[in-house]
Structure 1
Amino acid sequence: MRDAKPIFKILALLLLVLALFMLPPIVLLGMENDPDLWAFLQSMGLVALVSVTLLIWTWRAPVELKTRHMFILTTLSWVLISAFASLPLVLGAPQLSFSDAVFESVSAITTTGSTVLSGIEHLSDGLKLWRGLMQWFGGIGIIVMAIAILPFLKVGGMRLFQTESSDWSDKVLPRAGGIAKASTIIYLGFTLVAFLSYRWAGMGMLDAIVHAMSSVSTGGFANYDASFGIYHDRPLILWLGCLFMLAGALPFVLYIRLLRDSRGALWRDQQVRGLLVLLALVIAALTLYRTLAFTESPFEALTEVAFNVISVVTTTGYASDDYTQWGPLAVTTFFFITFVGGCSGSTSGGIKIFRFQIGVLMLVNQLRYLVHPSGVFAQRYNGRPLNDEVVRAVIAFSFFFFLTVAVLSLALAALGLDMVTAITGASTALTNVGPGLGEVIGPSGNFASLPDAAKWLLCVGMLMGRLEILTVLVLLMPFFWRK
Structure 2
Amino acid sequence: MLAYLARLPLFLILAGIAALAMFLPAFHALLLEDHTIARSFFYTGILGLALVSLTGVAMSTGPRRTDNDLANLFSLFLTYSVLPLFLAIPFYEGLGTTSYLNAYVEMVSSLTTTGATLFDEPGRLRDSLHLWRGMIGWLGGLLMWVSASAVLAQLNLGGFEVTATAEPGQGGTRFDRFERASASRRLGRATVTLAPVYVGLTVIMWLCLLVGGDRPLVGLVHAMSTMATSGISAVGGLQNAQSGIAGEAVIFLFLTFALSRLTFSSDTVTTARPGLWNDPEFRLGVIMVVGVPLALFARHWLGTLDVTEGQSWLAAFQALWGGAFSVLSFLSTTGFESAYWDAAQDWSGLETSGLILMGLAVMGGGVATTAGGVKLLRVYALYLAGTREMERLIHPSSVGRAGARSRRIRRQGAFVAWIFFMLFALSLAFLSVVFSALGIGFEQALVLSVAGLSTTGPLTHSALEVPINLLTIGPWAKLTFCAAMVIGRLETLAIIALLNPGLWRD
Shift of 1:481: 4.5
| Corresponding residue for residue 181 of structure 1 | 192
The one of 88, 91, 97 aligned to 1:86: 88
Contact 2:364 2:376 in 1 (8 A): yes
| Corresponding residue for residue 28 of structure 1 | 28
Shift of 1:309: 1.5
The TM-score normalised by the length of structure 1 is 0.86
| Corresponding residue for residue 269 of structure 2 | none
Measured against aligned partners, the alpha-carbon deviations of 1:38-69 in whole angstroms (never above 9, x if no partner) come to 11123212322331122112124535323542
Matching of residues 94-243 of structure 1 within 5 Å: 94-155=96-157, 157-160=159-162, 176-177=186-187, 178-225=189-236, 227-231=237-241, 234-243=244-253
Please tell me the residue identity of whatever aligns with 1:83. Answer: L
User: Residue 176 and residue 282 in structure 1: after superposition, are their counterparts in 2 closer, same or farther (change >3 A)?
Assistant: farther
- Which stretch of the first structure deviates more once superposed, 463-472 or 370-379? 370-379
Matching of residues 8-47 of structure 1 within 5 Å: 9-34=9-34, 35-47=36-48
- Cα distance between partner residues in 2 of 1:49 and 1:384: 54
1:66 matches 2:89: no
- Cα distance between partner residues in 1 of 2:417 and 2:159: 5
The one of 306, 321, 334 aligned to 1:303: 321
The TM-score normalised by the length of structure 2 is 0.83
Contact 1:7 1:69 in 2 (8 A): no
User: Residue 58 and residue 120 in structure 1: after superposition, are their counterparts in 2 closer, same or farther (change >3 A)?
Assistant: farther
Contact 2:212 2:247 in 1 (8 A): yes
Please tell me the residue identity of whatever aligns with 1:30. Answer: L
1:273 matches 2:283: yes
Measured against aligned partners, the alpha-carbon deviations of 1:217-269 in whole angstroms (never above 9, x if no partner) come to 111110123x112148921122222122223443152799xxxxx99722221
What is the aligned-residue identity percentage? 25
Shift of 1:81: 2.3
Contact 1:349 1:465 in 2 (8 A): yes
- Cα distance between partner residues in 2 of 1:429 and 1:104: 13
Please tell me the residue identity of whatever aligns with 2:279. Answer: D
Matching of residues 405-444 of structure 1 within 5 Å: 405-436=428-459, 444=467
Contact 1:6 1:65 in 2 (8 A): no
Structure 2 spans left out of the alignment, 5+ residues:
175-180, 267-271
- Cα distance between partner residues in 1 of 2:273 and 2:388: 32
Structure 1 spans left out of the alignment, 5+ residues:
257-261
User: Residue 184 and residue 102 in structure 1: after superposition, are their counterparts in 2 closer, same or farther (change >3 A)?
Assistant: same
User: Residue 285 and residue 80 in structure 1: after superposition, are their counterparts in 2 closer, same or farther (change >3 A)?
Assistant: same
- Cα distance between partner residues in 2 of 1:426 and 1:15: 28
1:449 matches 2:459: no
Contact 2:452 2:485 in 1 (8 A): yes
Please tell me the residue identity of whatever aligns with 1:149. Answer: V
Measured against aligned partners, the alpha-carbon deviations of 1:95-140 in whole angstroms (never above 9, x if no partner) come to 4312211111111011111010133545222111101100110000
- Cα distance between partner residues in 1 of 2:441 and 2:85: 29
Measured against aligned partners, the alpha-carbon deviations of 1:302-341 in whole angstroms (never above 9, x if no partner) come to 2221222121111001224576975324233222212111
- Cα distance between partner residues in 2 of 1:388 and 1:22: 48
User: Residue 437 and residue 167 in structure 1: after superposition, are their counterparts in 2 closer, same or farther (change >3 A)?
Assistant: same
| Corresponding residue for residue 296 of structure 2 | 286
- Cα distance between partner residues in 1 of 2:59 and 2:448: 40
User: Residue 286 and residue 29 in structure 1: after superposition, are their counterparts in 2 closer, same or farther (change >3 A)?
Assistant: same
User: Residue 358 and residue 88 in structure 1: after superposition, are their counterparts in 2 closer, same or farther (change >3 A)?
Assistant: same
- Cα distance between partner residues in 1 of 2:265 and 2:465: 34
- Which stretch of the first structure deviates more once superposed, 290-299 or 456-465? 290-299
Give the secondary-structure state (helix, strand or coil) at the position aligned to 1:86: helix
Give the secondary-structure state (helix, strand or coil) at the position aligned to 2:213: coil
Q: Which has the larger radius of gyration?
A: 2
Contact 1:179 1:253 in 2 (8 A): no
User: Residue 252 and residue 29 in structure 1: after superposition, are their counterparts in 2 closer, same or farther (change >3 A)?
Assistant: farther
- Cα distance between partner residues in 1 of 2:465 and 2:48: 34
User: Residue 440 and residue 196 in structure 1: after superposition, are their counterparts in 2 closer, same or farther (change >3 A)?
Assistant: closer
| Corresponding residue for residue 356 of structure 2 | 333
Shift of 1:7: 9.0
Please tell me the residue identity of whatever aligns with 2:77. Answer: T
- Cα distance between partner residues in 1 of 2:404 and 2:378: 11
Shift of 1:154: 2.2
Shift of 1:375: 4.4
Contact 2:71 2:503 in 1 (8 A): no
| Corresponding residue for residue 259 of structure 1 | none
| Corresponding residue for residue 342 of structure 1 | 365
- Which stretch of the first structure deviates more once superposed, 112-121 or 345-354? 112-121
Contact 1:435 1:442 in 2 (8 A): no
Give the secondary-structure state (helix, strand or coil) at the position aligned to 2:154: helix
- Cα distance between partner residues in 1 of 2:463 and 2:289: 27
Give the secondary-structure state (helix, strand or coil) at the position aligned to 1:338: helix
User: Residue 156 and residue 393 in structure 1: after superposition, are their counterparts in 2 closer, same or farther (change >3 A)?
Assistant: farther
Give the secondary-structure state (helix, strand or coil) at the position aligned to 2:459: coil
Contact 1:140 1:184 in 2 (8 A): yes
Please tell me the residue identity of whatever aligns with 1:57. Answer: A
Shift of 1:191: 0.1
Query: What value does the CA root-mean-square deviation take over the aligned residues?
Result: 3.5
Contact 2:259 2:281 in 1 (8 A): no
- Cα distance between partner residues in 2 of 1:103 and 1:233: 30
